[in-house]
């Protein structure tokens, strides 16, 4: 028998049951290399992005530092101050002070309403003046009585003077007659001559006595008349004071403007006066203001005051009417500061801001905010910023 060739059995069959090592296909090795290149590209891109972010953050930090530096170098361009409005031209109306009378209170019988427009000379308020008119009438009657007494005393003096002058003239004539009789001493008897001498002496004594008493009577009469005249003039002054006090009970407007009632302490409460209220003399209970020219009185602390200058422009806003905005200009700066309410070391300065224009709603004693433009002062006093640097926007500006 011919022998058949021997078959070659693969090793896999010879090692039945043993694990076979996995074989790598060609397409899988290509995909792994592709993924590896993708990861490398992504890492390179992330590195580039990180570098860009780092450089950008450094630029922002530098820009922000420049902005902060410029903000600290350049002061705020708008400064806000708080104050109240007031009229440039105004007159305070006080309860009248009566001359020569001690009156504790005055009663209002007529009062013009607040907000009324008045002209110069219009009646504003009238107080009860019955007591003053009664005093005036009494003093007027007493004055008329004294005037009559002075006239009567002067008439009596004129009559007494005429009588004394007649007696003095008669005594003078008698003296001249006795002097003529004494010249007959050489042709009359001795007894008649002695009688004539006695008559002459008596006539001289009578004439001299009448002459002396005439002057004394005139001085006494003049003194009596002068006393009555002094009493008359004193009564006249009292009468005029009473009339002036009665006229003071009617107060008229000193200028053209608007009536504003003040809040005062009356009858145990704070409020505006009304008809029938009692007001103490000398209390300012009313104002007459001219609303054509208004201003704002504000207080600036010692830190903000050096930045203010006369002539700087400002904007005035009323807290009661936020929509109203007025143009203004710094008009006055107080040279001396006032003590602060929190500490004596802190000072506040009065600043007057003139308001340009007017409005029916613009009245005194309204709280207002004043935005002062201090850019001109800052540019003039401080160094100008570099052209490449950006300044921080000022508060209240549109940008």
What is the DSSP annotation of 80-126?
Answer: EEEEEEEESSEEEEEPPPPTT---S-EEEEEEPPTT-EE-TT-EEEE
Closest by CA to 369, choosing from 327, 318, 331, 329, is 318
Instruction: Give the pLDDT of residue 113.
Output: 94
In angstroms, the CA 375 to CA 309 distance is 11
| Sheet strands (E) in the chain | 78-87, 90-94, 106-111, 117-118, 123-127, 250-252, 257-261, 264-266, 269-271, 278-279, 284-289, 294-301, 313-318, 325-333, 338-339, 347-356, 367-373
For position 179, what pLDDT does the model report? 82
Give, for all 399 residues of the chain, the pLDDT tens digit: 444 443 444 444 444 444 444 454 555 556 667 777 777 788 888 887 787 777 776 656 555 455 444 444 444 588 999 999 999 999 999 999 987 777 889 999 999 999 899 999 999 999 999 988 999 999 999 999 999 999 999 999 899 888 888 888 888 888 888 888 777 777 777 787 788 888 888 888 888 888 888 888 889 999 999 999 999 999 999 999 899 999 999 999 999 999 989 989 887 889 999 999 999 999 999 999 998 889 999 999 888 899 999 999 999 999 999 899 999 999 999 998 888 767 777 889 999 999 998 888 888 889 999 999 887 654 444 443 333 333 333 333 343
Residue 158: φ, ψ to 5°: -65, -40
The residue among 225, 228, 226, 233 whose CA lies nearest residue 154 is: 225
8 Å CB contact between 282 and 248: no
Q: Which positions ≥6 away from 380 have C-beta within 8 Å?
A: none
Q: What is the Cα–Cα distance from 177 to 275, expressed in whole angstroms?
A: 86
pLDDT at res. 17: 44
CA angle 289, 294, 297 (to 5 degrees): 105
Q: What share of the chain is helix, strand, coil (3-state, %, to 5)?
A: 45, 25, 35
Of 289, 290, 287, 291, give the one whose Cα is nearest residue 273.
287
């Amino acid at each position: 028998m011919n022998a058949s060739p021997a078959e070659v059995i693969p090793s896999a069959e010879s090692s039945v049951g043993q694990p076979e090592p996995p074989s790598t296909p060609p397409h899988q090795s290509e995909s792994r290399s592709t993924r590896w290149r993708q990861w490398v590209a992504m890492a390179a891109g992330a590195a580039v992005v990180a570098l860009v972010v780092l450089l950008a953050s450094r630029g922002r930090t530098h820009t922000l530092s420049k902005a902060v530096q410029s903000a600290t170098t350049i002061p705020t361009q708008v400064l806000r101050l708080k104050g109240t409005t007031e009229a440039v031209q105004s007159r305070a109306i006080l309860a009248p002070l009566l001359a020569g009378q001690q009156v504790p209170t005055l009663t209002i019988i007529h009062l013009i309403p607040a907000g009324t427009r008045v002209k110069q000379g219009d009646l504003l308020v009238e107080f009860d003046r019955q007591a003053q008119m009664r005093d005036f009438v009494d003093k007027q009657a007493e004055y008329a009585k004294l005037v009559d007494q002075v006239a009567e005393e002067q008439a009596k003096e004129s009559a007494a003077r005429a009588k004394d002058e007649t007696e003095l003239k008669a005594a003078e004539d008698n003296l001249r007659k006795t002097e003529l009789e004494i010249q007959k001493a050489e042709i009359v008897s001795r007894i008649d001559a002695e009688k004539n001498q006695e008559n002459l002496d008596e006539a001289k004594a009578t004439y001299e006595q009448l002459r002396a008493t005439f002057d004394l009577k005139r001085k006494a009469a003049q003194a009596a008349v002068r006393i009555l005249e002094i009493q008359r003039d004193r009564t006249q002054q009292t009468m005029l004071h009473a009339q002036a006090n009665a006229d003071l009970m009617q107060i008229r407007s000193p200028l053209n403007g608007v009536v504003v009632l003040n809040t005062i302490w009356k009858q145990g409460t704070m409020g505006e006066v009304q008809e029938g209220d009692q007001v103490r003399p000398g209390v300012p209970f009313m104002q007459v203001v001219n609303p054509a020219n208004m201003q704002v009185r504000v207080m600036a602390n010692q830190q903000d005051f050096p930045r203010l200058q006369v002539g700087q422009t400002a904007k005035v806003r009323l807290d009661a009417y936020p929509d109203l905005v007025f143009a203004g200009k710094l008009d006055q700066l107080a040279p001396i500061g006032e003590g602060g309410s929190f500490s004596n070391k802190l000072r506040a300065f009065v600043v007057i801001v003139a308001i340009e224009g007017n409005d029916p709603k613009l009245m005194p004693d309204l709280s207002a905010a004043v935005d002062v433009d201090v850019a001109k002062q800052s540019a003039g006093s401080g160094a100008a910023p570099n052209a490449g640097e950006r300044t921080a926007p000022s508060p209240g500006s549109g940008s």
